[in-house]
Structure 1
Amino acid sequence: MLLWINGPFGGGKTQTAHEIRRRLPGSVVCDPEHVGFGLHRTLPPGLRGDFQDLASWRHGVVEVLDLALTRHDGVVIAPMTVTDSGHFAETVGRLRELGHDVRHFTLLAERATVLRRLRERGVGRLLGAVTSRPAPRGESWAVRQLDHCLERLAEPEFAEHLWTDHTTVPKTADRIAVLAGLTLRPNNEGRLRTRMRQVGVGLRHIRFD
């Protein structure tokens, strides 16, 4: 089974994916974004646009996830924002055509909630501490894409929708597991330990290019 976790940038996809992996034995996170980063790094900076527009990204993601789903004995989790209908068909749709059991979920939240989460991410605090200035907010790529993401991802084609404004990452993981017919290990962490682990996940996913 593939769990594709969609949602706006800063919407909690990566945290939720790693929460499920932590509590679901045998599961793995295969992040399609890493394929895009590799493609970007092979191009001159001036030619780097949205890597999802590259056919090589779409085909590569399908090839990699197809291999993981075929050869790995466990659930595969892919946290990735996809808002374009054509790109969605060429990735999620193509994997379904290949016979894989793909469960797609979109994490949604109100605009103010996502903006608050972006401000609170470990990367923003780290940059602020290093530069003695607030981290970029309004100018950031994630914020510029937010309204488009929220509008597109609310469309029926991107169901199943899960609203996360008033829930936690562990509870969101629980909801996905129930909907997918999976059983997660109980979440026995305290709030402080959960927060520290989530900060660690955020720091490991900071991009520097």
Structure 2
Amino acid sequence: MLLWINGPFGGGKTQTAYEMHRRLPGSVICDPEHLGFGLRRMMPPPLRGDFQDLASWRQGVVEVLDLALTHHEGVVIVPMTVTDPGYFAQTVGRLGELGHDVRHFTLLAQRETVLRRLRERGLGRLPGRLAGGWKARRSESWAVERLDGALERLKEPGFAEHLWTDDFTVPRTADRIAVLAGLTLRPNRGGAVADRYRRARTGLRHIRFD
């Protein structure tokens, strides 16, 4: 099974993916961003844009995920924002055409909720406190600039199944996806403090500087 977790940047995809991976034995995370940033770094800086516009990225994602799904026995979890219907058809849709069991979920939240999550992501809260305000990193500024358009497009029926997460913690969102996908997660142990620690650790691991 492929679990593709979609949503706006800052919408909780990565946190939810790693929560599910932690509690789902045999699962693996395959992050298409690794391929995208690798392709981006190959190009001279003036030519760098959105790596999803590269056909090589879309084709490569399908090739790698097809290989993983064919030879890995556990669930493959993919946290990746895709808002272009054409690109969605060429990646998520294509994997379904190849015969894989694809379960797609879009995490949605109100604009204010996503902005708050972006502020708190990784090290975002500490610099804000020290400087008396929040100054977004370049990657977060990029996400904020595209937030409204992403939210509008992802609400469209073609990006279902939609899950609104404003009032849900990461573990509860993972539980909802598991139920809808027919999966059984291990119990979430450790309480709120452990959950916050895991979210902070995951955020730090995924800070992007390019």
TM bucket (normalised to shorter chain) is: over 0.9
CA distance in 2, matches of 1:103, 1:86: 18
Corresponding residue of 1:196? 197
CA distance in 1, matches of 2:60, 2:200: 30
AA paired with 2:204?
Answer: L
User: Deviation at 1:164?
Assistant: 0.2
* Preserved CA contact (<8 Å) 1:119 1:137: no
* Preserved CA contact (<8 Å) 1:108 1:162: yes
The count of corresponding residues between Structure 1 and Structure 2 is 209
Distance 1:130 1:65, change over 3 A: farther
Q: RMSD between aligned alpha carbons?
A: 1.8
* Preserved CA contact (<8 Å) 1:16 1:170: yes
User: Deviation at 1:135?
Assistant: 2.2
* Preserved CA contact (<8 Å) 1:6 1:104: yes
Corresponding residue of 1:33? 33
Does 2:9 match 1:9?
Answer: yes
Match of 1:171, SS state, is helix
* Preserved CA contact (<8 Å) 2:30 2:77: yes
Q: Deviations over 1:142-165 (max 9, x none)?
A: 100100110000000000000000
Q: Which moved more, 1:157-166 or 1:127-136?
A: 127-136
AA paired with 1:207?
Answer: R
CA distance in 2, matches of 1:165, 1:129: 24
Distance 1:126 1:42, change over 3 A: farther
Corresponding residue of 2:77? 77
Q: Deviations over 1:95-143 (max 9, x none)?
A: 0011000000000000010011111112323555788873227980010
Corresponding residue of 1:48? 48
User: Which runs of 5 or more residues in structure 1 are unaligned?
Assistant: none
User: Deviation at 1:89?
Assistant: 0.4
Structure 1's consecutive aligned runs of 4 or more residues displaced over 2 angstroms after TM superposition are: 125-139
Counterpart mapping for 1:96-175 below 5 A: 96-125=96-125, 127-128=127-128, 134-136=134-136, 140-175=141-176
Distance 1:42 1:129, change over 3 A: farther
* Preserved CA contact (<8 Å) 2:119 2:134: no
Corresponding residue of 2:180? 179
Calculate the TM-score normalised by the size of structure 2.
0.95
* Preserved CA contact (<8 Å) 1:108 1:164: yes
Match of 1:8, SS state, is coil
* Preserved CA contact (<8 Å) 1:137 1:143: no
Match of 1:122, SS state, is coil
User: Deviation at 1:44?
Assistant: 0.9
AA paired with 1:52?
Answer: Q
Does 2:86 match 1:86?
Answer: yes
Calculate the TM-score normalised by the size of structure 1.
0.95
